[in-house]
Amino acid sequence: MDFKSDNMPYSHPFHKEFVANHIRSVLTESDRVLDIGCGCGTYALLLPEIKMHGIEIHEPYASRFGLQDLYQTLHIGDIREFDFSDYTYLIMGDVFEHLTFEEARDLLTRMEGKRVMIAVPYLYQQGEWEGNVYETHWQPDLTPEVMSLRYPELKLLVGDTVYGYYVNY
């Protein structure tokens, strides 16, 4: 199956085990984890031993993918307006590209002092998908070079030619 054709709300399949092991290695007992933009629940399924909370902007995904069963708490809402102050580790898998540069910058500023893992596709144009306007990519020009210019506080954890995982710690 071609990642760039019909896989929304899924994410790039490569490096997932590496990323899961990395997250396991940096979390502590006291961490509170928030999966931002749950989609189909990729990170809850990848890390079932971690009590994770989620926020999803597109309510139909909650029932379609049984998200309420995958997360300790599931919030339906927009991360741009959500109070995530109680969380210490934030996962943003395939969310950043759905924000404008200004929205992403603002969100990173609000996330200061928290550990964040961000996953993005590179050079990926996308409009609404199955009627979900939130699937639109407002930063379709992302590449490793663009990420380092726009978001210098993020470091590439692992990636390939079509996808990258970044952390701020």
Q: What is the pLDDT of residues 108-162, one digit of tens each?
A: 999 999 999 999 999 988 877 777 777 888 899 999 999 999 999 999 999 999 9
CB contact set of 166 (below 8 Å; sequence gap of 6+): 117, 118, 119, 120, 147, 151, 154, 155, 156, 157
Q: What is the DSSP string of 90-116?
A: EEEET-GGGS-HHHHHHHHHHTTTSEE
Query: Is there a contact between 29 and 6 (Cβ–Cβ < 8 Å)?
Result: no
Q: What is the mean pLDDT of residues 91-107?
A: 96
